[in-house]
Amino acid sequence: MLAGRRVLITGVITHRSIAFAVAEEVQRQGGEVLLTSFGRARRLTERAAKRLPEVPDVLELDVNSPDDLAALAAELERRWGRVDGVLHAIANAPADALGGDFMAAPPESAEAAFRTSAYSLSAIAAALRPLLAPDAGIVGLDFDASVAWPSYDWMGVAKAALESVSRYLARDLGPSGVRVNLVAAGPIRTAAAGGIPGFDELAALWGDRAPLAWDVDDPAPIASAVCFLLSDAARAITGEILHVDGGAHAVGA
């Protein structure tokens, strides 16, 4: 389904990352991938990359650095000439923006969560816009922002902003044929999830609510949905939030 497509994948930290599962599935479906990382995490990303069927290069990208974004675009132009797909799997919030004391978080922490977790989708799209193929797909990883979750706090607000950003990008990039969608995934036990206070309690909710059940250790269903949205099969879909959570979002408490 992705034969010949060139996909940039952000957010791989370990082989348990959702982004790793996406990279693996893209390769299985015939696509070519490059990964991004930066700082101390880059060594972890490079280690994870060696577990993929075909070992991809890891390019430097701090999404909050305009210089890194410009350098990434230049490198992709040199290597590929075009980009057919992008996975945005970037999110971060300072510790004091999580944990349940929502109103005590300082504005600087809320702003940091927004910039890294939501604005970055627009920053990547803008940097790569000249390289995006006419049928390119951009997919971001979301966590249902329609309700307030325990402990998720300003990251939940940032995810709500991400959902809005994706709709505006869908509006602005649509005339060029570029699609922008999100996958609202159920909770997966990743390294990033380990930094969310109360994650186990949050994940336990899915055991009671998901009609199709939910395995917090299996990101494969999410990867399959992302690949669908990156493919030509989703050519008329943009501005969408696709829930891949066992159906938990559709069932009340």
Return phi, psi of residue 86, to 5°: -140, 130
Q: Is 159 an annotated catalytic residue?
A: yes
Question: Which among 182, 197, 154, 179 has a CA at the least distance from the CA of 236?
Answer: 179
Is residue 238 within 8 Å of 179, Cβ to Cβ?
Answer: yes
Which residues of the chain form beta strands (DSSP E)? 6-9, 32-37, 58-60, 83-88, 132-142, 179-185, 241-244
Place of tokens 């880059």: 42
Q: How many CB atoms lie within 10 A of CB 206?
A: 18
Q: Is 152 an annotated catalytic residue?
A: yes
From 50, 119, 159, 168, the catalytic residue: 159
Return phi, psi of residue 97, to 5°: -100, 0
Query: What are the catalytic residues?
Result: 152, 159
